[in-house]
Amino acid sequence: MWQYIIKRILGLIPLLLVISFVIFMFIHLIPGDPARLMAGKDATLEEVEEVRQSLGLHEPFVKQYISYMGNLLQGDLGYSIKSGAPVVDLILDRVMPTLGLTFLSIIWALVIGILIGVLSAVFRDKWPDRLGMLTAVSGISLPNFWLGLVLIQLFSVQLGLFPTGGDDAGWKSYILPSFALGAGIMAMIARFTRSSLVNTLKQEFIRTGRAKGLSGTSIVFGHALKNSLIPVVTVAGLQFGFLLGGSVVVETVFSFPGLGRLLIDSIQFRDYPVIQAEILFFSLQFILVNLLVDILYSYLNPKIRYD
């Protein structure tokens, strides 16, 4: 198992190199003169030249790449054009709220989603299934900005239980946005768990389990569920990756200081170093989540490990 994990981590190195190169190219792919674009329309020639110097754009291409990679390895992602603050600090400020929100959303989406999926599969075509799938369809169909607004109206304005936005109220500020974010994912997980489990319950080893004298609960939780989780882990992993990038819509609705809003602000101000750093950060997160999902696959299905 460890051998497999180390092999997979080593396999990431070439991928990371390619990604960093593509992101480095980003600034060169902007049509026209990037220094002029960043300096703004009304900038004088001297100001444009200053930007060029500060970004090192006057250097030869290869040298630029080497110094970019050198800085990157030292954790230096440049400075924000808008605020002048180091990009690393800007991102670090926003990472923790986004991470907290993401983890909370995915955890409750997994717990409730799998529970609904299991109940629906076990009581297939009976009322728990219909109720579960109705919940799932609602979760997928309701847009999360709308759900967010309804939640604010109900729990913050009417009942006064949670803050209407921001992240100043500790754990309470995470409840409503994580609910708005997680509802769709919970619904998807419920559907995938259900269909996968329904399939697994038709397998022959389930009959073997019954022939051994196992109870229905032992069969579902001891034998069937682990065999059904691969598609669930795939979906949850993908959604987790997206969430780590911060949700623009939900963060805006709840005025939540996460990465999603930072990205939107940077795009509006053409703050290229910040955009570049965020893209790099998102890519890294996606790669790590993918790795995690692959490792989970090999835990869930020993065949994958040995092949």
Partner 1 sequence: MGSLLQVNNLKTGFHTEDGMQTVITGIDFEVNHGEIVGLVGESGSGKSVTSLSIMQLLHDTPGEIIDGEIIYKGEDLLKLSEKKMRQYRGNELSMIFQEPMTSLNPVMKIGKQIIETISLHLNMSGQKAKQHAVSMLESVGIPRAKDIMNEYPHQLSGGMRQRVMIAMQISCNPSLLIADEPTTALDVTIQAQILDLLKDIQEKTNMGILMITHDLGVVAEICDRVIVMYAGRIVEQATVKEIFNNPKHPYTKGLIDSIPKIGAGLDELYSIPGAVPSPKNMPKGCKFAPRCEHVMDICNLEEPALAMENGRSSRCWLTQEQSQQEGVVGHGQ
What are the residues binding partner 1 (CB under 8 A)? 201-215, 222-223, 226-227, 300-303, 306
CB of 33 to partner 1, least distance (A): 58
CB of 223 to partner 1, least distance (A): 5
CB of 303 to partner 1, least distance (A): 5
Taking the least distance from each CB to partner 1, the nearer of 62 and 211 is 211
Taking the least distance from each CB to partner 1, the nearer of 31 and 213 is 213
**How far apart are alpha carbons 109 and 144 in whole angstroms?**
14
Taking the least distance from each CB to partner 1, the nearer of 287 and 300 is 300
CB of 306 to partner 1, least distance (A): 7
Taking the least distance from each CB to partner 1, the nearer of 227 and 255 is 227
**How far apart are alpha carbons 228 and 114 in whole angstroms?**
10
Taking the least distance from each CB to partner 1, the nearer of 20 and 200 is 200
- What would the two tokens of residue 26 be? 């980003």
Taking the least distance from each CB to partner 1, the nearer of 48 and 300 is 300
CB of 234 to partner 1, least distance (A): 16
CB of 205 to partner 1, least distance (A): 5
CB of 290 to partner 1, least distance (A): 21
Taking the least distance from each CB to partner 1, the nearer of 127 and 306 is 306
Contact 100, 173 (CB under 8 A): no
Go through the chain and tell me how many residues it has. 307
